[in-house]
Structure 1
Amino acid sequence: MGEFVIKMPDVGEGVAEAELVEWHVKPGDPVREDMVLAAVMTDKATVEIPSPVNGTVLWLGAEIGDTVAVKAPLLRIAVDGEGESESVAESVKEEERQPLPSPHRGEGARRADEGVSLPSPNEPSAPKEPSPSSDPSGHLLPAGEKGKASTAETRPLASPAVRLRAQEAGVDLRQVSGTGPAGRITHDDLDQFVARGAQPVAVAAGLARKTGTQEIKVTGLRRRIAEKMRLASARIPHITYVEEVDVTDLEDLRATMNAGRKPDQPKLTILPFLMRALVKTLGEQPGVNATFDDDAGIITRHSAVHIGIATQTPAGLTVPVVRHAEARSIWDSAAELTRLADAARNGTAAREELSGSTITITSLGALGGIVTTPIINHPEVAIVGVNKIVTRPVWDGSQFIPRKMMNLSSSFDHRIVDGWDAAVFVQRIKALLETPALIFIEG
């Protein structure tokens, strides 16, 4: 019987480490060749790691959320024969999903960088010390077990009799200071708490108080989203400009075009019209179609208009990119928008479809609210937010008439875009949307 060591694969493109986001096995599990063992996430894709051998899992080298260096031991498998150490770089299955910011270095990467010794492939692994996220045998706990342990640790110390009295009185023992050994709550502590006039918690018939807590480790895409939002908020001084737009004529035009569309043409939403208006406006204000490398102090203005579309998926927020929107018609823009949104939601979007945007549109659809303050997709310098359309009475000079109104909430990097330029930019989009024929006029 020997051991086979599987190392973190080289996922290419200069990536030196990846975050472990899923284990599909645990110590003691049998595995077969080509069975998926784990999934790791780089800044651009999720990569599944298959087993190149048949055997039994002996040891896991990282926990979910750890960032592991390329070529660091990831897991050990007991196999028939002498065994060997093997990297699975050529066997990884890449599942390209969401665009992600740069990874955070975790414990797995630190172990490799600091040269911490690991058991030899031919030596038994040392027993693993129990931790809040492992059981006494050293095995990783299932998701949620860590939160259960934490809940037990915060349970107040008290005898069953004190607990019964507190329950009958409607007193939450977490609010009572204990004077007994190790902070144990005594009958006197409970009496003094009630005597001080503390109001017990009334419990209605058929209902019960809840005191548990749950700790959820932020990993994978959610951690990437959190890091990206922190980066954008910390490094970009935002200015948000809100303007209302009368889209009554645009909505009439959209309804007419949808009624006459061909079977192979997608249904038009307001976004393709906004995309075309954005393209025309950026042609007049190229400084907004830019990215800013604030470390190098370099602004890059882009001739191509690659529009990121913020899209909610079951896994979290992603931004698929409609590339070269300047060369697309209304119908082509709508078709590409639909295709990319579907790919993002079912996890089949390719890497290049999830990166490289030069400006972003964000919309919450019917939940769009009245005003939003969108966060810029770093390193871009602008984002255009779409709020919901509502019918409101508008004064036309002689009477109030019903009009379909929509707010645009747009944010700009105030280091690059001045307030005046931001206002001119939004006013130009407003003019195009309120007179939609202008969108189709070239020049």
Structure 2
Amino acid sequence: MMSIEEIKLPDVGGDAVEVIEICVNVGDFIEEEEAIIVVETEKASMDIPASFSGTIESLNVKAGDKITEGTVVCTMKKAGAEEAPAVETKEEVKEVEAPVEKQEVKEETVEVEKTASQELVTQIEDVFVPDLGQDGEVDVIEIIVSVGDEVNEEDGLITLETEKATMDVPAPFNGKVKELLVNAGDKVKSGALIAKIEKQVAVETKVAPTIKAQTPAPSLKVEEQVEEKVESKVVEVSNEEFSASSKVYASPSVRRIAREFGVDLAKVKGSGRKNRILKEDVRLFIKEQLSKPAAAQASNGTSLGFNLPELKPIDFSKFGEIETVELSRIQKISGPSLHRNWVGIPHVTQFDEADITELEEFRKTQNTVFAKKNSDVKISPLVFALKAVAKALQIHPNFNSSLSADGQSIIYKKYINIAVAVDTPNGLVVPVIKNVDKKGFEELSTELKEISLKARDGKLKLEDMQGACFTISSLGGIGGTKFTPIINAPEVAILGLSKSEIKPKWDGEKFEPRLMLPLSLSYDHRVIDGAEAARFTTTLATLLSDIRLLLL
């Protein structure tokens, strides 16, 4: 049966209030708690929501009207309401009132007998993109499954390419793929819905309890429903109070839309009465922002930039033969990140050298020992650098920190995870080695080899790329004397290693040939000053010169 009910203005804590916005039209179907109108009291604006789902039959008020408590705002057609004799309904309500008020059931008057069993039921659950550890969208580069496929937990569903690497989004449970909501080439972000998977769940089925008491069984069910509705109302009120505290003139429903799309309402021009921001204003603002080129967004403060004159395109073919090659996906993603870090962090680079003559002799000796044992372990100079940096981070904790988002405090980390830049055919990626301070040289050598192979094969997972405290970028196998590495925010420093070479070093009596390793330490000057950076590189050089100090 269908019934038409009136929606009235509830007690809003004042006398007459003004209707400032009509959120629906006659004929609209709306859900429970969806806003019908917005009213303005002396202190704030608030939505008047629907108390049930249904269709708007009539609107009894218009924008600008002054209404009071009890005024009929609209009428709604409610679906699924069964008519019942008025007497029976009243009796049921009376029976419910007692347990709701007293919230107790006497044990001596109630005997409940329950039997339970389990059965498998089928349900469809949504699968979302996990936290990618970055803002913005990433590319879907491969769809691994098809609709109808049976998948096991941890089986890959799709492949994404983040700013650092490619990664599979796995199935969170066993089941059957019912729907795929993305295609190869789409852009998605953290929390995006990508698929629906059907799974079977074991649930308890309860036989209806036999209740021997004066209070009928339905009263217990209704009592639970009443409690649920009261709790949801409390949440709604707290949200409205929070919204009302802002200085921007906008209704809670408008603020909700703005939050969903990440819109700063302070930048939106309102077209309503008294410059009030309406839903249409937010939608128009979003459309305008999407249509703006990246340079325009940078100039108005929505991204980092210096508002420099636009570089006019040049036709290089006028000067000779050319070839245009598209950037790899990793380059497209990492480029803006590198630019953001370079212009957003005040970089300073400290240069130093470490005498690694004895270290290199020890390394070669140990590799010979491993070879005689037919072991696959081969210690590289980078492994010693990892251990030395871990020790230096313990001595100089400012380098194992991050600046808070508001720039008002420093967050110190009690763990030591070090990222290592790896050159791959598709571009630079930076996997992370966890708990370096707790691992030995042999374990680190094995892990470094494995993670480097995964990086070059494009098989790094998201967890392989997250949680770094500090980064090492080594060009020692290629060449160069020094360089200025770019800090990988939110880290505050990065160490560059160049090619070691034999140099004459004065020992107080004569010059001796020593193997010297160039060190280039870039640091965030907001957190670290020059003297501290010099002490860090001095500590690092000392540790590398005598690796026995790593044991202390």
TM-score bracket for the superposition, by shorter chain length: 0.5 to 0.7
For residues 71 and 360 of structure 1, the distance between their equivalents in structure 2, rounded to whole angstroms, comes to 28
Structure 1 position 407, deviation (Å): 0.6
Structure 1 position 32, deviation (Å): 9.1
Amino acid at match of 2:195: V
Alignment of 1:315 onto 2:426? yes
Corresponding residue number in structure 2 for 1:10: 128
Structure 1: tracts of 5 or more residues without a match: 1-7, 25-30, 55-59, 73-85, 92-109, 116-152, 156-171, 176-209
Higher relative contact order (CA 8 A, sep 6+): 1
Amino acid at match of 1:386: L
Alignment of 1:36-435 (within 5 A): 40-42=160-162, 46-47=167-168, 64=185, 67-68=187-188, 88-90=195-197, 174=318, 210-214=320-324, 216=326, 218=327, 220-261=329-370, 262-264=373-375, 266-435=377-546
For residues 70 and 378 of structure 1, the distance between their equivalents in structure 2, rounded to whole angstroms, comes to 19
Query: Which secondary structure state, in structure 2, belongs to the residue aligned with residue 366 of structure 1?
Result: coil
Query: Which secondary structure state, in structure 2, belongs to the residue aligned with residue 393 of structure 1?
Result: strand
Amino acid at match of 1:12: P
Amino acid at match of 2:446: A
Kindly tell me: are residues 252 and 16 of structure 1, through their superposed partners in 2, closer, same or farther at Cα, counting changes over 3 Å? closer
Aligned residues: 302
Amino acid at match of 1:285: H
Structure 1 position 380, deviation (Å): 0.4
| TM-score, with structure 2 as normaliser | 0.48
Query: Which secondary structure state, in structure 2, belongs to the residue aligned with residue 300 of structure 1?
Result: strand
Structure 1 position 18, deviation (Å): 3.9
* Bigger-Rg structure (1/2): 2
Question: Which deviations, in whole Å up to 9, do the C-alpha atoms of 1:131-187 show, x marking residues without a partner?
Answer: xxxxxxxxxxxxxxxxxxxxxx979xxxxxxxxxxxxxxxx9x47xxxxxxxxxxxx
Question: Which deviations, in whole Å up to 9, do the C-alpha atoms of 1:335-365 show, x marking residues without a partner?
Answer: 2211211122212222211111001111013
Corresponding residue number in structure 2 for 1:20: 139
| TM-score, with structure 1 as normaliser | 0.58
For residues 420 and 16 of structure 1, the distance between their equivalents in structure 2, rounded to whole angstroms, comes to 34
Kindly tell me: are residues 296 and 325 of structure 1, through their superposed partners in 2, closer, same or farther at Cα, counting changes over 3 Å? same
Structure 1 position 71, deviation (Å): 10
For residues 61 and 331 of structure 1, the distance between their equivalents in structure 2, rounded to whole angstroms, comes to 43
For residues 254 and 16 of structure 1, the distance between their equivalents in structure 2, rounded to whole angstroms, comes to 42
Structure 1 position 89, deviation (Å): 4.5
Structure 1 position 253, deviation (Å): 1.2
For residues 227 and 154 of structure 1, the distance between their equivalents in structure 2, rounded to whole angstroms, comes to 24
For residues 244 and 368 of structure 1, the distance between their equivalents in structure 2, rounded to whole angstroms, comes to 15
For residues 291 and 40 of structure 1, the distance between their equivalents in structure 2, rounded to whole angstroms, comes to 27
Corresponding residue number in structure 2 for 1:27: none
Structure 1 position 19, deviation (Å): 3.1
Corresponding residue number in structure 2 for 1:201: none
Amino acid at match of 1:399: K
For residues 432 and 157 of structure 2, the distance between their equivalents in structure 1, rounded to whole angstroms, comes to 31
Structure 1 position 304, deviation (Å): 0.9
Kindly tell me: are residues 49 and 328 of structure 1, through their superposed partners in 2, closer, same or farther at Cα, counting changes over 3 Å? closer
Structure 1 position 371, deviation (Å): 0.5
Amino acid at match of 2:324: Q
Root mean square deviation, CA, Å: 4.1
Query: Which secondary structure state, in structure 1, belongs to the residue aligned with residue 351 of structure 2?
Result: strand
Quick one: percent identity of the two aligned structures? 30
Structure 1 position 289, deviation (Å): 0.8
Structure 1 position 415, deviation (Å): 0.6
Kindly tell me: are residues 297 and 368 of structure 1, through their superposed partners in 2, closer, same or farther at Cα, counting changes over 3 Å? farther
Corresponding residue number in structure 2 for 1:187: none
Query: Which secondary structure state, in structure 2, belongs to the residue aligned with residue 88 of structure 1?
Result: strand
For residues 272 and 326 of structure 1, the distance between their equivalents in structure 2, rounded to whole angstroms, comes to 12
Structure 1 position 395, deviation (Å): 3.1
